[in-house]
Structure 1
Amino acid sequence: MQDVTYFKMNALSSEHYHQCFYCGCLATELDYVPPKQYVKDYQLDQDDGDFYAVPSCLECVSLLKKNHAAYVTLRRDKLKQLLAQKYQRAIHVYQVWQEDEIEELDYHLAKSIAAGLILGKESLERVEFSGFSYEVDGHKHHVLPEAKLAIKVDDRVFYTTKEALDYANKTYRIPKATLIDLLEIYNDDYNQAIYRFGQMQLEKEHDKALKKQCGDFAKQHKQNTKFVIRTVEYYLNEDEEMTIQQALEKLLTERLS
């Protein structure tokens, strides 16, 4: 089995010297692509690979330790997933909270949220880091910045999730945590999520009015509240144009007179 030569990846621009290719942090290690422990497998299968020594930080090397990928771009993409999973809670805090909201919190909670904002911002920047153009064995490789996906909310366009969440939160008074849950259901379609939230609010108002009016009716006519609510809901389902008050009047006329 012949020895394998790994070629050192060198940044083309001085601004990226000593920078982790995967996340942008300080590079103190080298990530070998493919990993040295799997090189024999690649040689036996006569499979291709980059065979690069990639400047990396200790955390990225550790996260990629069990990854078999033999191409630096595949390892970079996997690393983004792993970082996003590891710092999911901190990123969530950064996307949901605003610094001026912390002032209203209890001291210990405020301290925890403030730390989460810092960690979340840093983690998101690492996840979104696209790498840099580099030279290997005399050959230059250019890495273009990833195109930012446009997020449409109403007739406005945003390029970060945080900006889109802030806009929807302030414009429609939707709690960010609720909006994030709705976005997961509606495949990141903000307009559908906002519409569904509006429906949910109408449903809450309807349920509140239903319980109040049916409760008052039951008390006045000495009826079981659950019976009144169940009957009124039956009438409303039969006729979508009927109001709660009309359903109560029908109940009084047809069943209690």
Structure 2
Amino acid sequence: MAVSHKTLKSYYKRGFAKQVQHANRCYYCGCEATDTDYCPPLVHAELVLEFSENADFISVPACYECYALLHNERVLTLVERVEKLKTKLALKYAKALKVYHMWHEAELHEMSPEFQQSISAGMSLGSEAAQRLAFLPFVLSSDDANEIMPPPREKFTVDDREFTTFDEALNYCFDVLNIQKSKFYDLLVKECAGDFDKALSQYHHRFGTPRVLDVAKEKIKVFAKQHKQNSDFVARATERLMQQDTKLDIDAALAKLYRDYVAR
């Protein structure tokens, strides 16, 4: 015989904000709380109890959207539910988040009115979603007078530098490392699960080599024109010289080609 929700609720302690500024706020994203999220969800509580699974058995304030995204998820601890919620929010608002991270207000005046309106709306929605993703759950008090500390704030590492927010780390990649925005963002979010160093490695592997080759082609073209040589010959010759001596870059290979063959 199924246990009633009223009976199951008796196993949960009630979590509420310790500090007044967090009263009536969603534990997961900071929006206005309208519902109560049960950890584990009530629909799974009976089996969790029956099999003595490790679970927090606490209820927390939640906004309507976070409640809707989580209430059927069989995720049994608050830390895991925070991670799950962030993942689901990021997926739901993926397009708006990309617009928010790709564009700046200063660029809007260059667009047509229709495009400006579309981008502006996306930036606004993306900004709100980014704030919710960056929200750090607050300290909870409970019916038994114990405090439940939130998970530690996530840190983002880029080239051995630590950043406290995703936006700071991303802007460092864009502004300091001169990464092409759209290509890198898609790698970071879609393939590397927010791991900046992994995304940078993938980015350089996929997009770094063609840029180097383009520079080499331009130098070969200039060299061939300057010294009245066939560009195909210069390309083949420099490639062979660099294969023979792996320490040579394109400039050194061209210098050797000139010294050993052209200038003789």
Pick the TM interval, shorter chain.
0.7 to 0.9
2:220 and 2:234 in contact (8 A); partners too: no
Q: 1:160 to 1:25 in 2, by over 3 A?
A: same
Partner residue of 1:247?
257
Percentage of identical aligned residues? 30
Distance 1:157 1:49 in 2: 32
CA contact (8 A) 1:133 1:140 kept: no
- Asked if the contact 1:93–1:120 (Cα under 8 Å) also holds between the matched residues in 2, the reply is yes
Task: Select the residue among 154, 178, 181 that pairs with 1:176.
Answer: 181
* Paired residues for 1:136-151 under 5 Å: 136-144=142-150, 146-147=152-153, 149=155, 151=157
Aligned to 1:69: 75
Residues 23 and 129, structure 1, Cα contact 8 Å, conserved in 2: yes
**2:196 — aligned with what?**
188
Superposed CA RMSD in Å reads 3.9
Helix, strand or coil at the partner of 1:53: strand
Within the candidate set 82, 89, 93, 1:87 is matched to 93
1:208 lines up with 2:213 in the alignment: no
Out of 225, 228, 235, the residue aligned to residue 229 of structure 1 is 235
Cα displacement string for residues 189-234 of structure 1 (whole angstroms, at most 9, x for unaligned residues):
49x77xx6988755432222224544x489x67x6x5565334422
- Mapping 1:31-180, distance limit 5 Å: 31-144=37-150, 146-147=152-153, 149=155, 151=157, 158-167=163-172, 169-171=174-176, 173-178=178-183, 180=185
**1:7-26 equivalent positions in 2, closer than 5 A:** 7-26=13-32
Number of residue equivalences: 245
User: 1:32 Cα deviation (Å)?
Assistant: 1.9
Q: Distance in 2 between matches of 1:159 and 1:23?
A: 17
SS at 2:85's partner residue?
helix
- Kindly tell me: are residues 251 and 90 of structure 1, through their superposed partners in 2, closer, same or farther at Cα, counting changes over 3 Å? farther
Pair 1:199–1:48, CA change in 2 (3 A): closer
In structure 2, how many angstroms separate the alpha carbons of the residues matched to 1:158 and 1:77?
A: 19
Report the residue type matching 1:98 in the other structure: H
Q: Deviations over 1:143-181 (max 9, x none)?
A: 357346365679x87533433444554455443335557
Between 1:228-237 and 1:73-82, the stretch displaced more is 228-237
Counterpart-to-counterpart distance in 2, 1:160 and 1:137: 33
| Alpha-carbon separation, structure 1, partners of 2:88 and 2:131 | 14
Asked whether the equivalents of residues 23 and 126 of structure 1 are also in contact (C-alpha less than 8 Å), the reply is yes
Separation (CA, whole Å) in 2 of partners of 1:70 and 1:243: 62
After TM superposition, the structure 1 stretch with the greater mean CA deviation from structure 2, 171-180 or 128-137, is 171-180
In 2, the alpha carbon distance for the partners of 1:203 and 1:181 equals 23
Distance 1:158 1:134 in 2: 26
Q: 1:108 to 1:74 in 2, by over 3 A?
A: same
Cα shift readout 1:89-121 (whole Å, capped 9, x = no counterpart): 333333333221232233333333322322222
Q: Secondary structure at the match of 1:18?
A: coil
- In 1: Cα distance, 2:216 partner to 2:156 partner: 36
Unaligned runs of 5+ in 1: none
Unpaired stretches in structure 2, ≥5 consecutive residues: none
Normalising by structure 1, what TM-score? 0.73
TM-score (norm: length of structure 2)? 0.71
Code of the residue aligned with 1:85 in structure 2: it is L
Q: CA deviation at 1:45?
A: 0.7
2:29 and 2:137 in contact (8 A); partners too = yes
